[in-house]
Amino acid sequence: MSDVVMARPVLEGAREGVPRGGAAFDGFVRAGTTVEMKAFTGVTGDAGGFAVPREIDAAIDAVLKGISPIRAIANVVKVGTAGYRKLVTTGGTPSGWASETGPRPETATPVFTEIAPPMGELYANPSASQAMLDDAAFDVEEWLAGEIATEFAKAEGAAFVGGSGVNRPKGFLTYPTGPASDATRAFGTLQHLASGAAADFGTNPQERLIDLVQSLRAPYRQGACFVMNAATLARIRKFKTADGAFLWSPGLTAGQPATLLGYPVVEAEDMPDVAANTLPIAFGNFRAGYLVAERTETAILRDPYSNKPFVGFYATKRIGGAVVNSEAIKLMKIAAS
């Protein structure tokens, strides 16, 4: 059998037909974290020695990590530079009535706001010894690519929710919030509704959830969803109406999502737990409200020269994120009022 790895997807800077140990990797995902990994060697057990030279199962079981799914519900765009800008109109074009022969005075023009999603670069720079690459019973390069992709996905998901906007995306929970409605609230400020109690849900929490849904205007409710973590969802699933019916509706058939008040629920483990002054529940149309800007796909460089006998794997991904429509996302705040 040839030692050439066949039919593997090609990464940037790689080509098909590279011998095993070359720069071709087997499928990797887009998404992100800033991660630093120690060098792999066959000298110590937990740093790689467990894989060399014992006969072990070629597939490694990994502990699954919670990856935030905000990317799946947001608007994702590919950009050519880090200077990406988006224009948002914050007011319609006013109109007026006139008789058939009456004068038509000039009307006001729309108002534009420029949105510049804060961008940052995710990177990972692990290395493995050449002996490790040669002797391990599994494909170390493919495994490293998978580990990097998972960590990147975990980190970018956390940034989309709570990122500071400094060298990383700005999370939607870090924007200012206020109780004012869309008609009077400043652009860029998200509306929050109080839960009715200082550190928990108040009385009739199901009515507060209905108010949260109805605070989102009808055009945005098409395609809207709830976002919360598993602990909050466990509590919400126990809420009942006055006649004893659960607010939560399980999917009627396989593959159909469960719903809350008729809207799907997205579990995002980066959302906070229920506590005083937190924002544990979001409801909105994230496709209209949150923008993810990617400059390129994940790039991985293989460097066998700089630190012999180690082979370095330098992975980078440039990504940004920001709220582009503060009317499309509503939040529930744990507060009395």
Q: Which of 312, 174, 329 is nearest to 266 (CA)?
A: 329
Q: What is the pLDDT of residues 262-310, one digit of tens each?
A: 999 999 999 999 999 999 999 999 999 999 998 877 788 888 888 888 8
pLDDT on residue 243? 82
Q: Is the Cβ–Cβ distance between 279 and 335 less than 8 Å?
A: no
Q: Which one is predicted more confidently, 38 or 67?
A: 67
Q: Which of 133, 51, 140, 128 is nearest to 307 (CA)?
A: 128
Q: Which pLDDT band, with edges at 50, 70 and 90, does 201 fall under? A: very high
Fold of the domain built from segment(s) 175-287+325-333: hypothetical protein PF0899 fold (3.30.2320)
The alpha helices in 163-258, defined as continuous H runs, are 205-215, 218-221, 230-236
The pTM is what? 0.77
Q: Is the Cβ–Cβ distance between 134 and 142 less than 8 Å?
A: no
Q: What is the pLDDT of residues 126-156, one digit of tens each?
A: 888 888 788 777 777 777 878 888 888 889 9
Query: Any idea where the domains of the chain sit in the sequence?
Result: 175-287+325-333
> How does DSSP assign 31-76, residue by residue?
----B--PPB-SSSTTTTGGGSSS---SSPP--------HHHHSEE
Q: What is the pLDDT of residues 46-97, one digit of tens each?
A: 655 555 444 545 555 555 556 778 989 999 998 888 788 888 887 767 788 8
Q: Is the Cβ–Cβ distance between 195 and 332 less than 8 Å?
A: yes
